[in-house]
Structure 1
Amino acid sequence: MACHNINDYAVIGDCHGIALIASDGRIDWCALPDIDSDPVLCRLLDDKQGGYLDTRPDEAFSTSRRYLPGTNVLETRLRGEHGAAVITDFMPVGRAPTDGGGGNFVQIVAPNWLIRVIDVTQGEMTFETSFRPCLSWGERSAQLRNIHGGVAWEGGCLLCDKGLEANEYWAHGRLRLRAGERARLILMPSMPRDTEVALASVNELLAITLAYWTEWSRRCRYKGPYMTEVVRSALTLKLLTYAPTGAIAAAATTSLPEVLGQRRNWDYRLSWVRDSTLTLFALAALGYHEEPEAFFHFVFQHAADGIIPSQIVYGLHGERELVEREKLFLEGFSQSKPVRVGNDAYRQKQFDVFGELFDWMLLRQSLGVELQDDQRALLRRTADYVATHWREPCSDFWEGRGAPGHHVYSKLMSWVALDRAQKLLQYESYVETMNAIVTEVHRHGIATAGYLRQQFDRNDIDALALRAPFLDFPLPPGCLQATLEEVSRQLDTGTGIYRYREGSGGAPKEGSFVACGFWLVDALLFAGRIQDARERLEKMLSQANDVGLYAEEVDPGSGRHLGNFPQALSHLGLIHSATLLEIVEHHGEHALAGTHSHRAQRANLVMEALCEANGWRQPAPATDSSVLDLAALLGAELW
């Protein structure tokens, strides 16, 4: 039976595919070769029809787990009455060699395999292996057949060096291991040319994968008190990048519910421009620049209709039509229907996305990367579009399915788009329009009590207002304080923040939104309430699961995670708050003024000083096994 608590899962991946592993070692979700592929294992969404892979001791056992330091390689330790074992799960990945030798961390080699290694460390243990793949989201059962070294079906194969037996739609086996003995399993989306060579390569693949992740995480420039949490969040964001195109998935899963038993179940295995640009701010603050450049090329490559972006969300391969379909034959996570594939939010018009993109472009330029003439022309046309259309109603940040409205955050971000366009393009034609936006926001977007509203001329509060201080938008005196007070009064759970109120004065039905909790930390820092910010950050950090991961929301009563998992917006919020706290600690709250570009530059100065104080130097480009050996190994007739 699949877990019915999202907290119980950990994630592994190779910047192509993804898998979720339960705390007892069961693999209940696996999408190969890509994050958005039809999953080969999806018991997460249906206990009966979803596929799974389980290697379970035939006796009662306890478990503990961790990621190997600085990596996305998961280690689960099991202890039973007769022995102890370690399960190591990973997806092989290494840097692709380039013409100049070495390689970067976005041009990678990955065979799109999931590998499980079982090592008995004490006594003797017998593992019952149970495996059932699925086709078409479980609508069809995969017909298994025996092959040398494992079992196969039309969608791939599972290899095991200790033997498996196919039984129509599922496979089973018994692995009896003594201390010092090892079993290897490989789940792959296609048949290898030589199963024995593939199984024999596991040790070397593991070494190369550990080297790749270790080298990447060592480049993190954050050296503050929350280094463990920041590095784990950075590694999680890296897992959600899709290497072939540079797109960044908002989460690894689809249809994990925001409210148990209800219909708020969405597909997040897509690349939202807004979430992606915010991810890039977080990575840039940590000193990572290759991933932002890959996404830059992705978003410009898929510009259309004379503006950028032409829509708020794309498929990981750049797909523009993301028609939402319901898999009604699946029961859903914890019986929360429907399971959705695709997301109709791609049809929405949102003006905040232009501000997010222009803000990131300004940051990119501040890091020394210049725009080409055609790119500048496209940005100019986009800014002109915003200047012409900003007064129109649009959908909001939260992508509600109701009628478009005049959302205050969208107006703020329209101003941001024009402000950053002027700085980027050295073009002063938007001053009059920007002044008009300020006038409209002050007149219609601020309640009598002084706080920022959710929509014009309505007194609803929205946690998005916590982001306003960092936009460099001219707010009236006292607005931030009034907004903090109203958020505290209406949205604060004591441990987290609801994103908005639901219904007419009723209590929200969903959990507190993880990213909003980190936004409160940021706003408190901007207001000079440093100790309050640090305390709230500690509360937010305590809500991660045992391996440092966050879903989209947290139930304030039980601490149970809700929504898709792991969620990029949650992890980038953690990085942003930890980074801003370091800036304030070293330079005071006044150092937070200005744009993201200013703060990123100050963050780099702070990180350089910390690195200098700790004797840390940026690692030199490597030409070791993580670059060359994987490409050579995978060329040795493995598939």
Structure 2
Amino acid sequence: MAGTPQETYASDGCRYQPIADHGLIGDLRTVALVGTNGTIDWYCCPAFDSPSVFAAILDAERGGAFELATAVPARTKQFYFPDTNVLITRFFTEDGVGEVQDFMPIGEDAVETERHRLIRRVLCVRGALPFRVRVAPRFDYGRRAHTVRLLGDAAVFESPALSLALTSTVPLESDGADVWGDFKLTEGESAVFALDQVDARLAPRMCARAEAERQFATTVAYWRHWLSSSRYRGRWREMVHRSALTLKLLTYAPTGAIVAAPTTSLPERIGGERNWDYRYVWVRDAAFCVYALLRLGFSGEAEAFMKFVTQHIIPGDGGPSGPLQIMYGIDGRTDLPEQELDHLEGHLGSAPVRIGNAAADQLQLDIYGALIDSIYLYDKWAQPISSDQWDNVCDLVDWVCDHWNQPDEGIWETRGGRKNFLYSRLMCWVAIERAIRMARRRGLPADLAHWMKTRDTIYRQIMRRGWSDVRHAFVQHEDGDVLDAALLMMPLGKFIAPTDPKWLSTLDALTQDLVSDSLVYRYDPQATPDGLRGAEGTFSICSFWYVEALVRAGRVDEARLAFEKMLTYANHLGLYAEEISLTGEQQGNFPQAFTHLALISAAFNLDRALG
């Protein structure tokens, strides 16, 4: 639970921190993962999808890390400074207690923002403690050599494409590649380390204790002011607000883009090949994020994403997979070539490590429903869309009317060939239905007769070919008998009444086949091969969809129990990766926006049902 600090041992000697043993800090441009042992082992600069500087989470030897901890064995606990994204790691030893405050300042002027400053402030709060710091960057995923220059209280790391300056209030030593230092603090004393991007405009600048204190206060004030806009006052406020703060951290402020996750290649199964780069804008994920943020009252983020859509996604160029790609770069670019980094061993040896994502070229028809639904909600809850935006919506809906009845790769981005996935049909129905609602509510021009005829045709086909008399359930693809958790969206998308007998039978079938202790598998890869080897864990967004489907079906007690169980699978800070293993470990890229937005939606609807 978010309110229970994680306890680990800083001197356990393990090469890899578990995925869940991390907290997240960021500056709305990039992020860093900080382990419970005090090590930053994931950091890309200057943006989410830039090459890594620290990537020990993907290769403990060659990835690079920023280590900061007591020089003696310690128990550690980690928590967020209340209502912020400032992370605190505490060290408990026989001789005293110390803590490291990690944050990336927000609220500075435009030029200073480009430093992407990362501050690590160390305090001794009781007794006296020895500390050790070691900064070992490995630029460009460990592919680029660098040099180090010591300049008084600063060390400048220089590589061909990026230079970073580490300023310190304690003496540093260097071997030409890394820097380190040993120091001792007594009660009330502190030390400060700041890592900045430097270039011709940004010279190294000392981050003294007073400046660190000021930037700490500014950053705390920023996050608390932002969170104060939340309208959520329900039973699970701490978890919902942590999810909201996490979604905000996954926002790229310069464009309004929202990344699916800030990491790449964290394995969906240890030792498996299901390792993907999620540092991009999935149309589906980002559109669902808009729904979650609007639910809480954060209309500014929704407006920023709509601007990203208008400038970079609509209108599209009409590529081989239609007018939309399924994902874009955070700057709107469409070229995301996938490659494998053979020199990195992967988290716990889980190769390959991939950057880029070949799924960008897939056809996934469901994204049109997700996007147009988010536009519909924005138009309804935030502010009316413009005439140009409506023209773009019409173009997309007309395309969906002409192309909905074809096989695609589906929501799960399978690499086993295209199929007539029912979820894709469902979301094409959503795309058209939401556009019809907008047109009618605002009197906007539209070919309503054609849209309504196509909408009804899709409905009839889903009911006829998506229903299995053998399984007494709706199924993954037309004329099949395999179940799929994506169909939990049928009542959530208002396609079918949540108490319809056919839906209740489907819900029972899903519960029987795909649910384990409230956790939900996406599908059975043995029954429906997806082109990849090995099994996977349960998919956390599906588990929250399941909660919401139970709520809408009137099974509120079951829903509440399932929701409370899901909360026990969060990490110590209330964060979720993409999947959960058989033994309850977090798997996949971390933290995942998809999961946190589904948590918000489930909590909101469960609260409303409980009254």
**Equivalent residue number for residue 396 of structure 1:** 410
C-alpha deviation, 1:94, in angstroms:
1.6
C-alpha deviation, 1:193, in angstroms:
3.2
**Equivalent residue number for residue 516 of structure 1:** 542
* Other structure's SS at 1:369 match: coil
Q: Which AA in structure 2 matches 1:184?
A: V
Q: Is residue 268–residue 564 contact of structure 1 (8 Å, CA) maintained in 2?
A: yes
C-alpha deviation, 1:306, in angstroms:
6.0
Distance 2:293 2:528 in 1: 38
**Equivalent residue number for residue 508 of structure 2:** 485
Structure 1 pair 368/194, CA: closer, same or farther in 2 (3 Å)?
closer
Deviations 1:391-430 (A, max 9, x none): 1111100001121110001001111111111122343221
Structure 1 pair 508/334, CA: closer, same or farther in 2 (3 Å)?
closer
Q: Is residue 273–residue 309 contact of structure 1 (8 Å, CA) maintained in 2?
A: no
Distance 2:232 2:548 in 1: 17
Is residue 41 of structure 1 aligned with residue 51 of structure 2? no
Distance 2:537 2:220 in 1: 36
**Equivalent residue number for residue 188 of structure 2:** 180
Q: Is residue 154–residue 206 contact of structure 2 (8 Å, CA) maintained in 1?
A: no
C-alpha deviation, 1:199, in angstroms:
6.0
Which 10-residue stretch deviates more, 187-196 or 386-395?
187-196
Structure 1 pair 513/297, CA: closer, same or farther in 2 (3 Å)?
same
Structure 1 pair 477/214, CA: closer, same or farther in 2 (3 Å)?
closer
Alignment of 1:7-406 (within 5 A): 7-94=20-107, 109=113, 111-154=115-158, 155-190=163-198, 192-193=202-203, 195-196=205-206, 200-302=210-312, 303=314, 304-305=316-317, 310-406=324-420
Out of 547, 560, 578, the residue aligned to residue 552 of structure 1 is: 578
Distance 2:148 2:34 in 1: 23
**Equivalent residue number for residue 531 of structure 1:** 557
Structure 1 pair 145/245, CA: closer, same or farther in 2 (3 Å)?
same
Distance 2:563 2:423 in 1: 24
* Other structure's SS at 1:533 match: helix
Q: Is residue 84–residue 224 contact of structure 2 (8 Å, CA) maintained in 1?
A: yes
Q: Which AA in structure 2 matches 1:153?
A: F
* Other structure's SS at 2:150 match: strand
Q: Is residue 520–residue 538 contact of structure 2 (8 Å, CA) maintained in 1?
A: yes
C-alpha deviation, 1:309, in angstroms:
5.9
C-alpha deviation, 1:582, in angstroms:
2.0
Deviations 1:205-227 (A, max 9, x none): 11100000011112111111100
Q: Is residue 186–residue 199 contact of structure 1 (8 Å, CA) maintained in 2?
A: no
Deviations 1:187-209 (A, max 9, x none): 12216535335665211111100
Structure 1 pair 51/442, CA: closer, same or farther in 2 (3 Å)?
same
Distance 1:73 1:459 in 2: 48
Distance 2:148 2:518 in 1: 48
What TM-score do you get using the length of structure 2 for normalisation?
A: 0.91
Q: Which AA in structure 2 matches 1:327?
A: L
Could you tell me which runs of 5 or more consecutive residues in structure 2 were left unpaired when the two chains were aligned. Answer: 1-13, 441-445
C-alpha deviation, 1:96, in angstroms:
6.7
Distance 1:245 1:360 in 2: 18
Alignment of 1:591-606 (within 5 A): none
C-alpha deviation, 1:474, in angstroms:
4.1
C-alpha deviation, 1:325, in angstroms:
1.0
Deviations 1:342-391 (A, max 9, x none): 10111011111111111111111112522222221111111110001111
Q: Is residue 287–residue 371 contact of structure 2 (8 Å, CA) maintained in 1?
A: yes
Distance 1:108 1:366 in 2: 37
C-alpha deviation, 1:504, in angstroms:
3.5
Which 10-residue stretch deviates more, 229-238 or 35-44?
35-44
Deviations 1:511-546 (A, max 9, x none): 111111101000001110011000000001110011
Structure 1 pair 575/532, CA: closer, same or farther in 2 (3 Å)?
same
* Other structure's SS at 2:68 match: strand
Q: Is residue 16–residue 60 contact of structure 2 (8 Å, CA) maintained in 1?
A: no
**Equivalent residue number for residue 524 of structure 2:** 501
Structure 1 pair 508/536, CA: closer, same or farther in 2 (3 Å)?
farther
C-alpha deviation, 1:79, in angstroms:
1.4
**Equivalent residue number for residue 628 of structure 1:** none
Q: Is residue 14–residue 110 contact of structure 1 (8 Å, CA) maintained in 2?
A: no
Q: Which AA in structure 1 matches 2:610?
A: E
Q: Is residue 2–residue 28 contact of structure 1 (8 Å, CA) maintained in 2?
A: no
Distance 2:551 2:108 in 1: 39
Q: Is residue 309–residue 354 contact of structure 1 (8 Å, CA) maintained in 2?
A: no
Distance 1:130 1:197 in 2: 18
**Equivalent residue number for residue 9 of structure 2:** none
Distance 2:426 2:331 in 1: 31
Structure 1 pair 375/169, CA: closer, same or farther in 2 (3 Å)?
same
Distance 1:495 1:385 in 2: 38
Q: What is the percent sequence identity of the aligned residues?
A: 38
C-alpha deviation, 1:95, in angstroms:
7.4
Distance 1:78 1:25 in 2: 9
Distance 2:28 2:235 in 1: 28
What TM-score do you get using the length of structure 1 for normalisation?
A: 0.87
Is residue 446 of structure 1 aligned with residue 467 of structure 2? yes
* Other structure's SS at 2:520 match: coil
Distance 2:134 2:398 in 1: 59
Deviations 1:440-463 (A, max 9, x none): 111110111331110001101000
Which 10-residue stretch deviates more, 121-130 or 527-536?
121-130
Q: Is residue 167–residue 206 contact of structure 2 (8 Å, CA) maintained in 1?
A: no
**Equivalent residue number for residue 5 of structure 2:** none
Structure 1 pair 108/453, CA: closer, same or farther in 2 (3 Å)?
farther
C-alpha deviation, 1:149, in angstroms:
1.1
Structure 1 pair 511/185, CA: closer, same or farther in 2 (3 Å)?
same
Q: What value does the CA root-mean-square deviation take over the aligned residues?
A: 2.0
Distance 2:394 2:290 in 1: 22
Deviations 1:459-481 (A, max 9, x none): 01000111110222146941211
Distance 1:24 1:579 in 2: 34
**Equivalent residue number for residue 438 of structure 2:** 424
Q: Is residue 340–residue 352 contact of structure 2 (8 Å, CA) maintained in 1?
A: yes
Alignment of 1:432-471 (within 5 A): 432-448=453-469, 449-471=471-493
Which 10-residue stretch deviates more, 183-192 or 357-366?
183-192
C-alpha deviation, 1:241, in angstroms:
0.3
* Other structure's SS at 1:7 match: coil
Q: Is residue 258–residue 264 contact of structure 1 (8 Å, CA) maintained in 2?
A: yes
**Equivalent residue number for residue 621 of structure 1:** none
Q: Which AA in structure 2 matches 1:567?
A: Q
Aligned length: 576
Deviations 1:64-93 (A, max 9, x none): 111011000001111112221111000000
Q: Which AA in structure 2 matches 1:453?
A: V
Q: Is residue 126–residue 177 contact of structure 1 (8 Å, CA) maintained in 2?
A: yes
Distance 1:211 1:117 in 2: 17
* Other structure's SS at 2:467 match: coil
Distance 1:136 1:538 in 2: 41
Q: Which AA in structure 2 matches 1:156?
A: L
Distance 1:21 1:574 in 2: 23
Alignment of 1:624-635 (within 5 A): none
* Other structure's SS at 2:515 match: coil
C-alpha deviation, 1:141, in angstroms:
3.4
Q: Is residue 306–residue 382 contact of structure 1 (8 Å, CA) maintained in 2?
A: no
* Other structure's SS at 1:6 match: coil
* Other structure's SS at 1:214 match: helix
